[in-house]
Amino acid sequence: MAFLKGKAAWVLVAMVLLGLPGLAAQASPDREHRIKAVFLFNFAQFVQWPDSAFAGPEDPLVVGILGEDPFDTYLDEVVRGEKVNNRSIVVKRYKRIEDAKGCHVLFISDSEIPRTEAIFAALKSSHILTVGESDLFFQRGGMVCFATEAGRIRLKINLEAVQDAELVVSSKLLRLADVAGPRKE
């Protein structure tokens, strides 16, 4: 799988040059969530899904948001016109986890933290990369967590949860993150 293509390559290079995983988070939630929206787009570039995660070769890669949407329209702007492995990228918003079954990258908003156990139970055996912002999300089984430490956004990846979902994360992304969980060989 070729990972660095188009805008994604330049965005990742910019993040690395700016100091990721110590990318500065500003006090404004708007700025912070703009950075996180770019990360969500890049996750689509640096994760492989099994063929069974898609109904067909023409199906889009779906980036979903469950609960309150902190990105406004910015995430839509980031992915507009982009493709991953010849698949267009679409953004969908969900109020109920049952509606997110066709999703590939699912941002679980902090508004859903009280329901994380039920959400992860509903996603069992799915090929959905779960992304969140809180330690509680990560401790309960979330796959990728945005952690803000000393004013900087860092990534934490639960590799065991990712591998249980039969997803493969590029070593390029793993190098930028704090990795938890044993690597299955």
User: Which pLDDT tens digit goes with each residue over 49-58?
Assistant: 999 999 998 8
Can you state the angle between helices 6-17 and 29-45, rounded to 10 degrees?
Answer: 130
Q: Look at the chain and count its residues.
A: 185
Q: Which domains occur in the chain, in start order? A: 6-180 (3.40.50)
**Residue 132 phi/psi, 5° resolution?**
-150, -175
Residue 180 near residue 137 (C-beta atoms within 8 A): no
Task: Write out the H or E segment, with its range, that includes residue 45.
Answer: helix 29-45
Which comes out higher in pLDDT, residue 7 or 109? 109
Only one residue has tokens 């890669």, namely 61
Task: Write out the H or E segment, with its range, that includes residue 9.
Answer: helix 6-17
Closest by Cα among 73, 46, 44 to 60 = 44
Closest by Cα among 164, 159, 152 to 174 = 159
Average pLDDT, the chain: 84
Q: Report pLDDT digits (tens) over 13-49.
A: 344 334 444 444 433 347 889 999 999 999 999 999 9
Q: What's the CA gap between 47 and 84, in Å, rounded?
A: 10
The pLDDT-based confidence of 156 (bands split at 50, 70, 90) is: very high
**Residue 91 phi/psi, 5° resolution?**
-110, 130
The pLDDT-based confidence of 83 (bands split at 50, 70, 90) is: very high
| Residues forming beta bridges with residue 24, ordered by sequence position | 152
The pLDDT-based confidence of 2 (bands split at 50, 70, 90) is: very low
Q: What is the pLDDT of residue 6?
A: 52
Contacts of 49 (CB under 8 A, 6+ apart): 61, 104, 127, 167
Q: What is the pLDDT of residue 152?
A: 85
Q: What's the CA gap between 6 and 102, in Å, rounded?
A: 25
